[in-house]
């Protein structure tokens, strides 16, 4: 069979709907299935490989195995261009392999992932430059571009080199740089006080469809992408990069259509800056989704008090402690979060007081995937009903989260957990506000606490 020929079914004829297996001399062969089914199978396999934690090795191993299992599956792979659209590149990536992936992907958009270690041998530089040239020639097909670099050298820049090309279909850009020698005193001042309308990379409208940007560590200081049309922005600092507040502020306010914002790490605080809270209000009328994780915990009140987000529907708080949100409760303006319906906690330690529940009054969905239902404070409070008050709470009866319909917790798989679910369900039914579902891991319980799905 020619290398580019479509695979043809082999073996016995396919089953006829009016005939059973006994009508054939032999049972039908798996190769008699329609070719489209095999295309779907290999596509599902690729998705599973991409979701693996060791994505780079898993995906390449899958791409190799599916194309070398047999002549039949080789033809399936060669005629399944979507298998080859995700390309992981390192300093040691072979040129032949890269060329094979680019050819196999046809004209489809590409997901490029480049990962470079700081200790990559200098002998790899010439080879890497060749690889980058090949990647650059396909920039018109980049749909996502992820660059993870341990060190960005001014003498041999990787990020600036790749991000100087035209990328007309690029939608997602992620740049993670641990360290760099590109930031001089002059470039630092230009970035802090320069015109935010002038990006450092993908200049002159080179990426007109860029909708999602993720900057991590030194990339926050070294590279300013075009963010005017961005709708999803993630700013992440895991290395105490010490970013001036003015940079973070510019990145947040300039995207006029921003709907999703993820702030992760400390971001500011080492330059004498502080989150201004109510002294510097930032209007974000389109923001619908906000996720926060702070190392020193100063970001929580600073952001939640400083941002006016009338359209916010989802709030995710990670590593939040008891006192982090007290300034927000003290501000006490429930109408600020009128559209907030989903609250998610991750490794949080919060006290579910009445001020909190009045601030986030319209919650319909609550999730805490790091705590079991048996240990959840909020579950315990809801089981006790609306009339239990603590000393700091206001007098009178207060129904906690009257609109709550869905709750999600981590599963422990114990009988105590099932009993807790029944108590929670009955407590809400007793006040005429039944839950629609309680999810523990993959198990789902109905409004009566009865298991309905695994």
pLDDT tens, residue by residue, 226-267: 999 999 999 999 888 778 888 888 899 999 999 999 999 878
DSSP-based helix, strand, coil % in the chain, nearest 5: 35, 20, 45
Joined tokens for residue 368: 């805490």
- 191-208, pLDDT tens digit by residue? 666 666 788 899 999 999
pLDDT score at 307: 93
> Is residue 384 a part of any domain in this protein?
yes
Domain identity same for 131 and 203: yes
Q: What is the mean pLDDT of residues 79-84?
A: 80
Residue 69 confidence (pLDDT) above 80: no
For the chain, report the end-to-end CA distance as a whole number of angstroms.
47
Which of 32-36, 263-267, 271-275 has the highest mean predicted lDDT (pLDDT)?
263-267
User: In angstroms, what CA-CA distances link 439 with 51, 97, 421?
Assistant: 23, 44, 9
3-class SS string, 45-60: HHHHHHHCCCHHHHHH
Q: What is the pLDDT of residue 388?
A: 47
Domain boundary among 84, 114, 148: 84
Average pLDDT over residues 141-170: 94
Calculate the alpha carbon distances from 447 to 37, 173, 383, 427 in Å: 39, 43, 14, 10
What band does 415 get if pLDDT is binned at 50, 70 and 90? confident
The answer to whether residues 89 and 67 belong to one domain is: no
pLDDT of amino acid 431: 92
**Please, which pLDDT band fits residue 346 given cuts at 50, 70 and 90?**
very high
Looking at the fold, whether 359 and 378 belong to one and the same domain comes out as no
| Same domain (yes/no): 252, 296 | no
Phi first, then psi: give them for residue 254, nearest 5 degrees: -70, -35
pLDDT band of residue 367 (cuts 50, 70, 90) is very high
Of 156-165, 182-191, 350-359, where does mean pLDDT reach its minimum?
Answer: 182-191
- Domain with 53, as residue range(s), is 1-84
Of the candidates 345, 363, 381, which is a domain's last residue? Answer: 363
Examine the domain organization and report whether 184 and 239 are in the same domain.
yes
pLDDT value, residue 15: 44
Provide the number of structural domains found in the chain: 4
% of the chain exceeding 90 in pLDDT = 46
């Amino acid at each position: 069979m020619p290398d580019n020929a479509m695979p043809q079914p082999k073996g016995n004829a396919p089953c006829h709907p009016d005939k059973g297996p006994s009508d054939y001399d032999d049972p039908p062969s798996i190769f008699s299935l329609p070719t489209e089914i095999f295309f779907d199978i290999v596509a599902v396999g690729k998705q599973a490989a991409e979701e693996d934690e060791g994505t780079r090795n898993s995906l390449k191993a899958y791409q190799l195995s599916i194309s070398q299992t047999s002549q039949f599956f080789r033809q399936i792979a060669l005629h399944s261009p979507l298998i080859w659209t995700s390309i992981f590149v390192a300093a040691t990536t072979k040129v032949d392999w890269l060329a094979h992936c680019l050819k196999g992907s046809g004209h489809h958009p590409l997901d490029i992932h480049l990962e470079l270690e700081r200790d990559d041998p200098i002998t790899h530089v010439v080879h890497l430059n060749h690889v980058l040239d090949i990647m650059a020639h396909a920039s018109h097909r980049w749909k996502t571009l992820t660059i993870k670099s341990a060190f960005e050298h001014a003498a041999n820049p990787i990020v600036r080199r790749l991000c100087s090309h035209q990328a007309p279909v690029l939608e997602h850009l992620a740049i993670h740089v641990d360290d760099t020698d590109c930031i001089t005193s002059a470039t630092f001042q230009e970035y802090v006080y320069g015109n935010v309308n002038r990006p450092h990379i993908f200049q002159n409208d080179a990426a007109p469809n860029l909708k999602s940007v993720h900057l991590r560590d030194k990339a926050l200081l070294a590279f300013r992408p075009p963010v005017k049309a961005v709708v999803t922005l993630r700013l992440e600092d895991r290395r105490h990069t010490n970013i001036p507040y003015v940079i973070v502020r510019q990145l947040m306010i300039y995207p006029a259509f921003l709907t999703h914002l993820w702030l992760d790490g400390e971001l500011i605080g080492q330059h004498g800056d502080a989150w201004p809270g109510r002294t510097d209000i930032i209007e974000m009328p389109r923001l619908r989704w906000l996720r926060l994780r702070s190392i020193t915990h100063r970001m929580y009140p600073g952001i939640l008090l400083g941002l006016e987000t009338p359209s916010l529907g989802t709030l995710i708080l990670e590593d939040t402690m008891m006192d982090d949100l007290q300034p927000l409760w003290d501000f006490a303006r429930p109408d600020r979060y009128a559209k907030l319906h989903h609250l998610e906690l991750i490794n949080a330690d919060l006290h579910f007081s009445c001020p909190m529940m009045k601030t986030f009054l319209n919650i319909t969905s609550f999730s805490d995937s790091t705590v079991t239902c048996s240990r959840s404070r909020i579950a315990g409070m809801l089981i006790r009903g609306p009339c239990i008050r603590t000393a700091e709470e206001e007098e009178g009866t207060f129904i906690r989260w009257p609109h709550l319909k869905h709750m999600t917790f981590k599963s422990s798989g114990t009988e105590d957990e099932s009993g807790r679910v029944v108590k929670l369900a009955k407590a809400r039914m007793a006040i005429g506000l039944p839950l629609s579902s309680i999810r523990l891991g993959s198990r789902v319980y109905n409004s009566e606490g009865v298991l309905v799905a695994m």
